[in-house]
Amino acid sequence: MCVMSFAAFLWYIYSERGDNLTKLNMWLRRFSIQLLWGAGILIVIAMIFSHLEGLTIIGNICYIVAFVLSGVSILLRAIQALKSKTVSIELLVSIASVGACVIGEFNEAAIVTFLFQLGSFLEQKTMKKTRSAIKELTQMAPTTAWRIIKSVNSGDNTDCKNSSDNSCSNERKEKFDIEEIDADEVEIGDTLLVKAGSQIASDGIVVKGDGYVLEASITGEPLPKHKADGDIVYAGTILDSGNLHMRATKVGEDTTFAKIIALVEEAQDAKSPVERFIDRFAKYYTPAVIIIAALVFIFTRNVDTAITILVLACPGALVIGAPIANVAGIGRGAKNSILLKGGDSIHTFSKTDTVVFDKTGTLTMGVPEVSAMKDYSNASEQVLSLAASVEKASDHPLAQAVIRYAGDVMSYEACAVETVKGCGVKAVVNDHDVLVGNQRLMEQDGIELPEQIKQDLSDVQNTGASIVLISIDKKVAMLLGISDKIKADAKKSIADLKDMGISDIIMLTGDNAATASAIAADLGITDYRAELLPEDKMTVIRSLQDAGKIVTFVGDGINDSPALAAADTGIAMGSGTDVAIDNSDVVLIRSDLESLVRSLRISRKTVHILYENIAIAVGTVILLLAGLFAGYIHMAIGMLIHEASILVVIFNAMRNSSMRLKYK
């Protein structure tokens, strides 16, 4: 009865029009959980009746119904694969379960299909769990925006025409007409109003107002960041307080937020070399098993043995073991603000033995700050006040560092400002002749440096800092050392990499040798190359690879793109340029080096679990078949062990989404 029913169903499905098949598939997917648990309950009931004298027929009926409930969708998938000229694992399961019915083992047919479906259910549940990072990101995407469509001046200014009172114009208030639009309708160049508590709809630049923005969805930083004129804001972030006018610079799929979502989605679809091998292996494995089972039947005339081979040889654990391990690893990375671009990237990254760092923006903050100060005036606040007043006329990075260091000191108006190219700035401030610049500027103005200042200058230079001297009325009053501040987590992260067995850690920079040497020594980096052009960095990467090294390069700028592309694994900081991010295999959204260490641990753990799954799957099949031919394994126990191996690889992969990253 079971065989006839399935044969009729097979003929119906194969001959019916695609519309009916699609509807049936949709119905089965819709009620898949109910059908699965219904089959499970019927199997339990059948087991009870099978042990009651005179009621075994009821038990067999329950087994058959359970077999149909769990087996129909498997058969459908097998037929769909056949129509596309693919021999799938589902075909092997279908033949094995129908064969079990042929020999009257209805319990085995029901349990085989139920456990196979249970494995598929747990696999999908794990996939769904690890893809939750994408769902959370998608739900955080902005849906609406307020676009400023016209600005007009309100208030009657008739009386102002004949008035010389400047305050009259201040009474005219600026009014903006705004419209609410879908976030997808925002165009580049649009001026948007962002209200407190609302999401920012596109990447852009603040043109008016100020406020504090929660950027955790982009940078991972929990504290709000102050934004004012000229600052960059990102789509998907939330204005915690204040009011902003911004000009849209990136919209739709070009925003940083949208790219993060796209990168995670692409990563979970990408396959590792192991997965690609298993895909090729599965195409030949199923036909081979069917042929072996047929030959066993031909030579032994033992249907039970042939069908048992079909059941025990189903490589379900092997097929799902690798992809589920990779997806779990990618999901774990996404939860930690790390974008791992697919199984291939994970596999290569896990083998890294050499890590090469760019300096600026990667190991350092990328913003020059005052790192040393020597005061020779005993009036440091007054000196900084005069110096900051002069530096406000310059947009040079060192000038901005001096201004930031001076803080909220009193400011004066600078007169007769003269910029001396390559040297610094001269000015008259509050009746004082003020010079702010390097040693050459002092020498050109005839200012002598006492021996103590020369010694201090040499000491600060040896730390790799740039020198800024401040002279007041022909006398040096202060020496400032300005350097790019090392990231707080850089030293510990490099030590952690060494503990993880990374044999070579190298720094590449376009900066001068003295600065490079000082930073390398501070961080414990033994090898560095200075004064490099972008193509020089790529040459270094190539030479390391030629020496047999598996190289990971970490950078953030456009100039790092050639090296990122050339390295075995390119890692970009999330705060870096779009070109760097696009050319990378891993993106550290938080832009911290602790994320680098964490990403390597995740990659290694993922690959470790992947190989564990393969060993479990292959080992189980080999042992079961060996036990079968030796006479120790029979259908029932073999089937339970085989299906249990599928559950084991699923639960093994799920460990990666919850375990602490201690693996090195």
Active site residues: 358
CB 313 within 8 A of CB 576: no
Question: Can you name the residues that pair with 369 across neighbouring β-strands?
Answer: 483
- Cβ atoms of 1 and 102 closer than 8 Å: no
Helix 56-83 to helix 89-102 angle (10° resolution) is: 150
The helix (H) or strand (E) run that includes residue 34 is: helix 32-50
Owner of token pair 């680098």: 596
- Token pair for residue 20? 């009916």
- For residues 67-87, one letter each, b for 16 or more C-beta atoms within 10 angstroms of the residue's C-beta and e for the rest, the string is bbbbbbbbbbbbbbbeeeeeb
Q: Which residues of 553-576 are buried (b: 16+ CB within 10 A; e: fewer)?
A: bbbbbebbbbbbbbbbbbbbbbbb
Residues 475, 393: Cα–Cα separation, whole Å: 22
**Cross-strand bridge partners of residue 174:** 153
Distance of CA 655 to the CA centre of its chain: 19
Cβ(436)–Cβ(425) under 8 Å? Answer: yes
Per DSSP, the three-state class of 418 is strand
Going through 351-413 in order, the beta strands assigned E by DSSP cover 354-358, 364-375
- Contact by Cβ (8 Å): 363, 163: no
SS3 track for 419-483: EECCCEEEEEECCEEEEEECHHHHHHCCCCCCHHHHHHHHHHHHCCCEEEEEEECCEEEEEEEEE
Query: Which amino acid is present at 144?
Result: T
Task: Report the C-alpha gap between 120 and 112 in whole angstroms.
Answer: 12
- The token duo for 498 is 């060494």
CA pair distance 313, 624, nearest whole angstrom: 8
d(CA 646, CA 627): 19
Q: How far apart are CA 177 and CA 508, in angstroms?
A: 52
Give the C-alpha distances (Å, rounded to integers) separating 154 from 4, 174, 177, 246. 85, 6, 12, 22
Report the number of secondary-structure helices (H) and strands (E) in the chain: 25, 20
Residue in 74, 102, 110 with CA at minimum distance from that of residue 89: 74
Kindly list the distances between the CA atom of residue 403 and the CA atoms of 232, 360, 378, in Å, as whole numbers in the listed order: 21, 21, 20
